[in-house]
């Protein structure tokens, strides 16, 4: 049976991860540019799901859809895909492919939805049980899950509230096999911890084991502002190549941060930027505008904080996009004040900020640097 993987740029790392998991079962995923027999797998997010819906509907092969959007909206996606993988795919995808290969004998594996059935998976993936990549190289996921429940974010609904860490030895083995070690994690500085209080001893133990170029707390991962301290920045300066650190502020209003359940304050953001500046590290800071219940005063506070941050670093700004499976899924973006749009537009023209306030589906226009591929 031929098993194919639809090549989608946003899902390149998912391909590396799931290709490695399938290889453990003797299954080979062949990348394709269009659906192909016998089976084609798709990994979709909420930005590109609509783009590929028609392609999946019209495919003349068995189709499998997984990823953040299908996991949150499996009833909807099961109307046009033959099978939907809900949640983590390392165990479920190989099990489903073996089920299909057997002629669909026996019970459908848990974690797979169809248009008329779904049995939830009652376990989570142990990170060390699966390699982060095999012959298809990718970033190394070092942590999965997040204890915070930010209203706009899908991470906690997809991967749970408890952080699951890949072991230091396993991470180091794979990191030392590539030229540049880059990591996937919701908070790089939370490695080895419960996610709420840092364990910098664990972070240092990890960094010491890696002998290739390390990019830590930058694309494709980030850190939280309250985890940025003299000690953590010292570790990055000592062991890592990146000269930038990526973290989310999201708003310049403490009221909005509280409504989002961000569990940090504006003062934490200010302190993080100042510390980065003191350590000659460029802060790269994310903001979301148009959040539900955000008023003009909140937006002005965000605008003023953005203006200040651009004196020391880079700011990514984008408009709020409600994502399925999040607490804010059923909300709508608030209008962005004209004065705020005017000021941020000037900053964008001057190269001080990136992003899009017009189309919430446009994420970041990244500039090229040694830190960002």
pLDDT digits (tens, 9 = 90+) for 111-125: 999 999 999 998 899
Q: Is the model's pLDDT at 238 over the cut of 60?
A: yes
pLDDT tens by residue, 285-339: 999 999 999 999 999 999 999 999 999 999 999 999 999 999 999 999 999 999 9
* 128: in domain: no
Range of the domain at 220: 139-356
pLDDT of res. 355: 86
Q: In this structure, are 208 and 321 located in the same domain?
A: yes
Domain with 104 in it: what CATH number? 3.40.50.2300
Query: The tokens 């993936």 sit on which residue?
Result: 125
> Mean pLDDT over residues 196-202, rounded?
97
Average confidence score pLDDT of the chain: 94
What phi and psi values does residue 215 have, to the nearest 5 degrees? -120, 110
For residue 106, what pLDDT is reported?
87
- Model confidence, pTM: 0.91
Q: What is the pLDDT of residue 176?
A: 97
Whether residues 78 and 151 fall in one domain: no
Confidence band for 357, pLDDT divided at 50, 70 and 90: low
What is the count of structural domains for the chain?
2
Q: How many CB atoms neighbour CB 345 within 10 A? A: 12
Query: At residue 244, does pLDDT exceed 80?
Result: yes
Task: Give 359's pLDDT tier (boundaries 50, 70, 90).
Answer: low
For the residues of 85-138, what is the DSSP string, one character each?
E-S--TTHHHHHHHHHHTTS-SPPPTTEE-SS-B--------GGGS-S-SSS--
Q: Hunting for tokens 């394709």 — which residue is that?
A: 32
In this predicted structure, what is the pLDDT of residue 120? 93
Mean pLDDT score, 43-54: 95
Look at residue 365 in the predicted model and tell me its pLDDT. Answer: 38
Tell me: pLDDT of 68 over 50: yes
- For residue 192, which of 179, 205, 182, 180 has the smallest C-alpha distance? 205
Is residue 162 within 8 Å of 145, Cβ to Cβ?
Answer: yes
Q: Would you place residue 162 in the very low, low, confident or very high pLDDT band (cuts 50, 70, 90)?
A: very high
pLDDT at 372: 40
Residues 65, 212, single domain; the answer is no
pLDDT at residue 251 is higher than 60: yes
Q: Which residue, of 78, 113, 148, is where some domain finishes?
A: 113
Q: What pLDDT sits at residue 155?
A: 93
Domain co-membership, 267 together with 230: yes
């Amino acid at each position: 049976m031929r098993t194919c993987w639809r090549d989608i740029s946003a899902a390149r790392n998912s391909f590396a991860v799931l290709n490695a998991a399938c290889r453990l079962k003797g299954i080979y995923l062949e990348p394709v540019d269009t659906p192909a027999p016998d089976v084609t797998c798709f990994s979709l997010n909420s930005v590109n799901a609509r783009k590929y819906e028609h392609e999946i509907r019209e495919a003349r092969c068995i189709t499998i859809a997984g990823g953040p959007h299908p996991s949150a909206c499996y009833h909807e996606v099961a109307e046009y895909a033959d099978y939907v993988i809900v949640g983590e795919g390392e165990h479920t995808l190989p099990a489903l492919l073996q089920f299909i290969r057997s002629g669909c004998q026996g019970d459908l594996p848990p974690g797979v939805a169809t248009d008329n059935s779904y049995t939830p998976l009652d376990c989570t993936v142990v990170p060390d049980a699966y390699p982060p990549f095999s012959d298809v190289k990718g970033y190394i996921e070092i942590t999965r899950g997040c204890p915070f429940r930010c209203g706009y974010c899908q991470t906690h609904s997809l991967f749970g509230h408890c952080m699951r860490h890949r072991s230091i030895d396993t991470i180091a083995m794979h990191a030392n096999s590539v030229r540049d070690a880059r990591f996937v994690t919701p908070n790089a500085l939370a490695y080895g911890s419960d996610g709420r209080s840092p364990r910098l001893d664990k972070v240092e133990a990890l960094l010491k084991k890696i002998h290739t170029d390390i990019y830590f707390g930058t694309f494709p991962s980030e850190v939280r502002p309250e985890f940025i301290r003299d000690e953590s920045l010292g570790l990055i300066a000592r062991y890592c190549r990146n000269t930038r650190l990526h973290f989310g502020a999201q708003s310049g209003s403490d009221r909005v941060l509280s409504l989002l359940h961000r569990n940090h304050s504006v003062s934490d953001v200010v302190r993080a930027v100042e510390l980065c500046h003191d350590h000659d590290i460029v802060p790269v800071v994310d903001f979301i505008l148009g959040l539900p219940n955000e008023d003009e005063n909140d937006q002005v506070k965000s605008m003023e904080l953005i203006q200040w941050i651009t004196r020391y670093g880079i700011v990514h700004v984008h408009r709020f996009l409600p994502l399925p499976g999040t607490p804010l899924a059923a909300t709508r973006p608030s209008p962005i004040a004209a004065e705020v749009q005017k000021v941020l537009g000037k900053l964008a023209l001057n190269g001080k900020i990136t992003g899009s306030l017009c189309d919430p589906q446009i994420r970041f226009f990244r500039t090229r640097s040694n830190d960002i591929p």
